[in-house]
Structure 1
Amino acid sequence: MNGLCVFRIDATKGSSVTYPLNTELAGDNSLKLVMYPVLLETGILSTPADIVVEGAIKRYNTGDVTGPECGDLLMSIDIEDIQAAFDPEALSLQQLKDLFPLTKTFAFENEGISFKNRLIDAQIITDKKEVVEYAIKLRDIIKRQDLESLYIEYRPKLDDYALAYPEEFPDPESWFANLFRDDFFPGGPIVEFDRDDIVARPWCDGRIWEVSRKPYQPFFMNKGLDGDINMIELYVGRVDGKLKIIR
């Protein structure tokens, strides 16, 4: 969505997802689907004919219940045009493989909130090492359980979420403190990793970087309090010249 990955779906299991996009809105919006083949039960790779995509972009008002039957329809999502142009009999196995990844882009507009300053107009970050070093800084803050320092780094994300979801986040500072002081820190933060364990991936042409841990673990994760494990994804960007947590 506007260059930022908002969700990933494993098609082999079949998935249905409803995802709020307020924090990814930019006024003039672009939603891009990227589809990769999977191995079918028959042992062969899937083709465009095997893909089923059904979705919609909807606008909800404050207080509305989100769901398939609610909201104002802005656009339906499907790949029927891609499938209509596909002729499996005319393609070799290699040509079928070369079709992927399939992509389709949907454009729509929104009024009101916009995070174009983060997604489109923000300064591009070209130095991956800078992102990794910032991740180490965050790791050390978590290791110290330094709530005040973490809040300073987290503030841009909290401000954006308060703007995007004013009813859900009327007091973002208290929400943040309750999450980390009462749940995340008592659950035993996982901090036993170093630079080589950090994965940094650019989005939005390098304006936003996703940071995780090898092999496929979210950056913020604890061992769990009473079996309740906290996992928080980390996206960073440049704010007023400094790297900060923005998503």
Structure 2
Amino acid sequence: MAHDRMTVLAAMMDQGVIPVFYHPDVEVCKNVIQACADGGAKCIEFTNRGDFASQVFLDVARHFAQVDKSVIMGVGSVVDAPTAGIYIANGAKFVVGPLLNPDVAKVCNRRKIPYSPGCGTMSEIGFAEELGCEIVKIFPGGLVGGPEFVKSVMAPCPWTRIMPTGGVDASEESLRKWFGAGVVCVGIGSNLVTKTLLDAKDYKGIETKVRDTIALIRSIRGK
């Protein structure tokens, strides 16, 4: 299954929530990511954390390239161009960062890979869009102004596509506020793939939570 730039962006916006996850154990990653995909979240953000994270990503990406080509693996916590290049070479189909780096944007654009940089001001969002970023991440979402910040951005710039991460949870109250403000999708980490579910290796529970969250977002959107 081909995952070009437009296909990936459409998938991110359609599913509405991007699970954000990292674990140093390859087998745990395989199980969690498969659970997310089975729950309807085919796009998963693997965060670049810890030593040899890129090797873990490579092993997991190779696995899904063989067993489930519908899975779209992206990488998060990318702050520099060399790191972006490593993950793209290892199969990343989208790149997310906590900050905006023009060099990362250039690498991603050269390879037609979506880049969602972390922004905290109107000027950063505008600069990211000038660099070709279709979906801009606001981070940390809850601390830069939350849903009210999104509303303030969307008023003069209704074309902006925003994905908050940080300060978002899987509750109806939280999701209604963010989507009501105009976001196109949200990134959720430990509030979705919870420590309790992970410690118990309750992969079916993860699948159910992801499925329920996507259903809730569709309901909020009126789909």
TM class by smaller structure: under 0.3
Higher strand share: 1
Higher helix share: 2
Structure with larger Rg = 1
Q: Please, what TM-score do these two structures have when normalized by structure 1?
A: 0.26
Q: Please, what TM-score do these two structures have when normalized by structure 2?
A: 0.28
